[in-house]
Amino acid sequence: MKKKYLILVILFISMFSFSDIVLCQEEILDTLYQTEEIIITGTRTLKKIIDIPYSVERLDKKEVLMNRTVGINDIFYLVPGIFTQSRYGNHDVRISIRGFGSRSNTGIRGVRILQDDIPESEPDGQTRIEAIDFNTLGSIEIVKGNSSSLYTNAPGGVVNFKSDLSFPKTFISTHNEFGSYDLRQNGIKFGYLNNDFRFLLTYSYRNYEGYREHSQEYQNIFNSAIQTYLFNNSTLSVFLNTVLGIIKLPGSLTKAQYETNPDMANPQDVSRDSKRISRKGRLGVRFNTFFGKSNNNEIELTGYGAIKDFDRTAKTYRIFARYGIGGSFRYINRSFFLDNRFNEFSFGGDMYYQTGPITEYNNINGKKGDNLLAQTDETISNVGFYVQDQFSILKDKLDLFLTGRYDKVTFISNDLLFAANNATRTFEKFTPKVSLNFKILPNIAFYTSYGLGFDTPAGNELDNYPYSSTYPKELNPDLQPQESNNFEFGVKGNVKYPKNTVFKNIVFELTVYNLLIKNEIVPFVVDNQVYYRNAAKTDRKGLELGLKAEIVKGLNFRTAYTYNDFKYDEYIARTIIGDTLITDVRYDGNIVPSVPKHNFVAELLYDYYFNEYISAYAKVNWMYIDKMFVNDANTENAEAYSLLNSMIGAEFNYKGFSALLSFGINNILDKRYVAFININDANKRFYEAGPLRNFFGGINLGYNF
């Protein structure tokens, strides 16, 4: 009951603050309004955040550098609506937006991941982010909520990692980070700029012992980008990245194992030397041009190719070889008509084709055995087309957005040993969305949207389990795509009071939403193998609140609060006990696992400028994560926990030379907590511990020519 009152208090405070703004409108209009100039591309057209009828966030390079950079969870903690669970570093970080992505026990699902607007996600939506190098980034764009009308398999949203191509001068820099558990990260970054083109090159190396047994990580990442100006208003860009790495997998623990020694590895995973070896590379080429009398037309063409090889050891030794080719196009027309009202019309399409064999051998203590157990050729392709239109109903105030997308995702699995097991499945759907954005003031807007979401199973989620209707065929015919009806309403703004000595700048956003999901895809585990099934209907209600405020000069306060009320409305789950006992159990009314009901973060950051050469900063943040159930049956849960973290840094600049020194402590109070939940494990191995008190530091050196 107290928690409900907490929600009401937060809503009351936010509404009171907004009411004060509206009632004092005359006073506010006397202040200096500066339209929000942050522009993103994650909505498939260049738009200011204040003009987008969705919940959107952009993290700049400074926000990345002022954090530990081992995993994406180190960066996203202050974004309301996003919940991350890190297993051991940047590998297998679970990114969940409004519950989408929480089902994935490995990799990322339900959230579209882009790198420089090129899909890092595979055609089926499965994503691993080993190739994301924080040293390369200039910004991160996050579109929260249903994006199925613009992207394939993106019911939870879109995350776009953008390379740092906006540097003003030629430069070279080094990135060096060290910390507890033998963390060592080193990298070099070089940017060259002249009148005709700009070039970015980065290389990073990570050696991390890990905070659990059998959790070592070694990684080499190479990224490069070149952008050249061909002729008036036209650019050609080339992006290349490669990654070579290995990560040992300690596995999940039972509650008894976790309480005895939370840092231990699962003995079964140690005996199997469970690990993943990754070798990936991708080349992308993009052409962009503006044309027309006032350059109001835009065309963009992108093509890319990718090679991905993985070795994965668990119960068996599996070798994946994946070869992909893809492309996208978009056309945008910006015009004015009907009493000079703005209209932006665009359409585009995407194609991604990926194929390659998966070979399975017996696993002998982590070594590939000689017994060939299975070999399949797996092909996944997606083709999609979208259209969107933004029309100004009330000039500079009320805009209507109409978007829609058709997707066709095809899976072809050919058993190279037993042709009778060959199978093909195709999923297709049209997903429309309608949105409104109403700016009551230049920097304050209400927004609302309603749309359909569509999320196909990933290739590994279609693995057929022993008791399906057509076992042993390669693809599970019983698993259906996940569909959703999505409604949201919100308000966001950026208010500046330049004459004030306190609270001169306030940025806020409040969003409420309701999602009704049909055939939610959820994992279950048999003999340490993960399979997937459908829950019938799920009801998700939530609230997201974000606030940034400059309290006094140099002192900034940020907070993010997320409320999740996710329940299964109808759900009959098949339970398998031993080899033969199969029962169907009703989970109607149960809470969706691995999602906290309350997630709260608050941070204080102080910047101080000694002079034009020296500046320093200090920050402290506190986060609270509510308890989470670990299975659909709701028989066990991971306890709620709080973490206190801090960081200090100093920056020096003199005649082109620069140095950034930083030091931080995470989990200052040395709390034990569950960092990752392995959902629905049949052997009750649900728990993976997070690190205790740990230290990290960095030394970045650079020179601008």
pLDDT tens-digit series, residues 42-53: 688 888 999 999
Please report which confidence band the pLDDT of residue 340 belongs to, taking 50, 70 and 90 as the band edges. Answer: confident
Q: Residue 135 carries which DSSP code?
A: G
Q: Residue 110 carries which DSSP code?
A: S
Are 401 and 386 spatial neighbours (Cβ–Cβ below 8 Å)? Answer: no
Are 411 and 459 spatial neighbours (Cβ–Cβ below 8 Å)? Answer: yes
Please report which confidence band the pLDDT of residue 37 belongs to, taking 50, 70 and 90 as the band edges. Answer: low
Q: Which of 435, 448, 449, 443 is nearest to 390 (CA)?
A: 435
In this predicted model, what pLDDT tens digit does every residue of 61-120 receive, in sequence order?
988 888 988 888 899 999 999 999 987 665 678 899 999 988 777 778 899 999 999 999
Please report which confidence band the pLDDT of residue 581 belongs to, taking 50, 70 and 90 as the band edges. Answer: low
For residue 298, pLDDT beyond 90: yes
Q: Which amino acid is at 104?
A: S
**Mean pLDDT value across residues 373-384:** 94
Strands 598-609, 118-119: pairing kind: unpaired
Q: Residue 74 carries which DSSP code?
A: H
> What is the Cβ-side half-sphere exposure of residue 689, based on CA atoms within 13 angstroms?
27
What is the predicted pLDDT for the residue at 635? Answer: 95
**What are 259's two structure tokens?**
């309480």
What is the predicted pLDDT for the residue at 91? Answer: 67
**What are 675's two structure tokens?**
């960092």
d(CA 541, CA 100): 13
Q: Which residues contact 693 (CB under 8 A, 6 or more apart)?
A: 665, 666, 667, 668, 669, 670
Alpha helices in 237-349 (DSSP H): 255-260, 267-272
For residue 616, pLDDT beyond 60: yes
Q: What's the whole-number average pLDDT of the chain?
A: 89
**What are 316's two structure tokens?**
């068996």
In this predicted model, what pLDDT tens digit does every residue of 474-508 receive, in sequence order?
788 888 999 999 999 999 999 988 888 899 899 99
Share of the chain above pLDDT 70, in %: 91
What is the predicted pLDDT for the residue at 539? Answer: 96
Give backbone dihedrals phi and psi of 263, rounded to 5 degrees, phi first. -90, 0
Please report which confidence band the pLDDT of residue 360 belongs to, taking 50, 70 and 90 as the band edges. Answer: very high
For residue 307, pLDDT beyond 50: yes
Q: 585: left (phi > 0), else alpha (psi -120 to 50), else beta? A: beta
Please report which confidence band the pLDDT of residue 1 belongs to, taking 50, 70 and 90 as the band edges. Answer: very low
Are 134 and 162 spatial neighbours (Cβ–Cβ below 8 Å)? Answer: no
Burial label for 191, CB within 10 Å (0-12, 13-18, 19+), is buried
Are 141 and 159 spatial neighbours (Cβ–Cβ below 8 Å)? Answer: yes
Are 298 and 292 spatial neighbours (Cβ–Cβ below 8 Å)? Answer: no
Q: Which amino acid is at 581?
A: L
Strands 614-625, 47-48: pairing kind: unpaired
**What are 457's two structure tokens?**
């199973």
Taken in order of first residue, the domains within the chain and their CATH numbers are 31-217+251-259+416-704 (2.40.170.20)
In this predicted model, what pLDDT tens digit does every residue of 130-189 receive, in sequence order?
778 899 999 999 999 999 999 999 999 999 999 999 999 999 999 999 999 999 999 999
Q: Which of 3, 2, 128, 133 is nearest to 599 (CA)?
A: 3
- In the three-class reduction of DSSP (H, G, I as helix; E, B as strand; rest coil), residue 613 is classed as coil
In this predicted model, what pLDDT tens digit does every residue of 210-263 receive, in sequence order?
999 999 999 999 999 999 998 889 999 999 999 999 999 999 999 999 999 999
Q: 210: left (phi > 0), else alpha (psi -120 to 50), else beta? A: left
Q: 688: left (phi > 0), else alpha (psi -120 to 50), else beta? A: beta
For residue 16, pLDDT beyond 50: no
